[in-house]
């Protein structure tokens, strides 16, 4: 059975969430400008913008297979396209001729198609991208004290496209500091991954192997984000960062169908995680 445009986009969203990428939450600059079609120069909007920005490509240009072919280029073997959608309208067929001044009835439709990023294309000349203005990073003293004070913490490595905690190696991977939207967002992201790291077997021993959609995975995301919110509050970091955390949590709560007990449980685990990082003795 052929998948609908809705199904294809939903699947893509779930794939991103399974990888720990939340398409509507981007605390760091992931690409050189807003994603746009290279031929029309038209920027993508709505769900298309979320889907394409979440891919973390360095170049913002995308093209369909036919557009690449028309430009004399070709898709690099093994490249995977990204589904996007197009809203349009069709003029409904009339059983009888329209009366004078009567407008034809329009029927909306949604069509899915595939685009490829510039990095998947060869034989087409793309302009050089101006470097994004790097963040003039200024360490927040209270946050640095938290980071440096966790002597049993994992190794933290910068220079990656995404932020994540790797249980197998006990490492936190983060984008460069200069790519974050603000210093506060950097620490909030780092605290989130530190929250995950408290769940290692050698620490608080939480289950970190869940898959998207199950209770373990969802609970762990709640724990990590609540840990980040607690640590941000401890450091006096800007309230807007806490509000971003609340919006993120709200999204997970919707996924969990409003399971208030799970939120309470996650908050308890998050408090233990924050205390471990801050060196507060267990009660």
H or E segment to which residue 62 belongs: strand 61-63
Q: Identify the top-confidence range among 77-81, 83-87, 96-100.
A: 77-81
Beta carbons within 8 Å of 167's beta carbon, 6+ residues apart = 199, 200, 208, 209
What average pLDDT does the chain have? 79
pLDDT at 167: 92
CB atoms inside a 10 Å sphere around CB 89: 11
What percentage of residues in the chain have a pLDDT greater than 90? Answer: 35
Greatest Cα-to-Cα distance within the chain, rounded to the nearest angstrom: 82
Residue of higher predicted confidence among 246 and 118 = 118
Q: Is the Cβ–Cβ distance between 196 and 165 less than 8 Å?
A: yes
Q: Is the Cβ–Cβ distance between 69 and 79 less than 8 Å?
A: no
How many Å apart are CA 37 and CA 167, to the nearest integer?
Answer: 38
Q: What is the mean pLDDT of residues 43-47?
A: 81
CB atoms inside a 10 Å sphere around CB 122: 13
Q: Is the Cβ–Cβ distance between 113 and 67 less than 8 Å?
A: no
* Mean pLDDT lowest among 68-77, 87-96, 119-128, 171-180: 87-96
Tell me: the pLDDT tens digits for 162-202?
Answer: 788 999 999 999 989 988 888 998 999 999 999 999 999 99
pLDDT at 154: 97
Residue 240 has pLDDT above 70, yes or no: no
Identify the DSSP state of 193.
Answer: H
pLDDT at 253: 55
CB atoms inside a 10 Å sphere around CB 64: 17
pLDDT at 24: 47
How many Å apart are CA 270 and CA 276, to the nearest integer?
Answer: 10
Q: Is the pTM of this model over 0.85?
A: no
Q: By C-alpha distance, which of 272, 261, 183, 262 is closest to 227?
A: 272
Identify the DSSP state of 115.
Answer: E
SS3 107: strand
- Number of residues that this document lists for the chain: 283
Q: Which two tokens stand for residue 231?
A: 């640590």
How many Å apart are CA 41 and CA 57, to the nearest integer?
Answer: 17
Phi, then psi, of 6 in degrees rounded to 5: -60, -45
pLDDT at 134: 79
Identify the DSSP state of 259.
Answer: -
How many Å apart are CA 114 and CA 65, to the nearest integer?
Answer: 8
Residue 260 has pLDDT above 60, yes or no: no
How many Å apart are CA 274 and CA 276, to the nearest integer?
Answer: 5
CA dihedral defined by 116, 119, 123, 126, rounded to 10 degrees? 100
Q: What is the mean pLDDT of residues 217-228?
A: 81
* Mean pLDDT lowest among 38-42, 124-128, 261-265, 279-283: 261-265
Residue 76 has pLDDT above 80, yes or no: yes
């Amino acid at each position: 059975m052929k998948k609908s445009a809705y199904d294809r986009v939903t699947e893509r969203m779930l794939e991103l969430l399974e990888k720990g990428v939340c398409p509507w939450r981007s605390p760091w600059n992931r690409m050189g400008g807003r994603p746009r079609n290279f031929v029309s120069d038209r920027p993508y909007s709505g769900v298309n913008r979320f889907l394409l920005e979440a891919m973390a490509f360095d170049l913002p240009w995308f093209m369909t297979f036919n557009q690449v072919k028309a430009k004399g280029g070709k898709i690099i073997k093994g490249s995977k396209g990204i589904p996007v959608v197009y809203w349009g309208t069709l003029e409904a067929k009339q059983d009888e001729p329209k009366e004078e001044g009567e407008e034809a009835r329009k029927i909306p439709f949604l069509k899915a198609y595939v685009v490829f990023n510039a990095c998947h294309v060869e034989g087409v000349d793309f302009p050089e991208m101006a470097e994004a203005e790097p963040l003039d990073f200024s360490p927040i003293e209270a946050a640095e004290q938290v980071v440096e004070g966790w002597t049993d913490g994992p190794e933290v490595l910068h220079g990656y496209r995404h932020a994540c905690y790797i249980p197998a190696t006990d490492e936190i991977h983060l984008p460069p500091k200069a790519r974050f939207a603000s210093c506060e967002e950097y620490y909030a992201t780092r605290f989130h991954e530190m929250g995950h790291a408290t769940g290692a077997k050698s620490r608080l021993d939480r289950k970190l192997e869940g898959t998207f959609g199950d209770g373990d995975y969802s609970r762990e995301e709640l724990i990590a984000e609540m840990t980040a919110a607690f640590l941000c509050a401890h450091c006096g970091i800007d309230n807007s960062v806490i509000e971003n955390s609340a919006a993120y949590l709200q999204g997970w709560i919707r996924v969990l169908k409003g399971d208030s007990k799970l939120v309470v449980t996650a908050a308890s685990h998050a408090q233990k995680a924050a205390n471990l990082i801050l060196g507060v003795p267990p009660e």
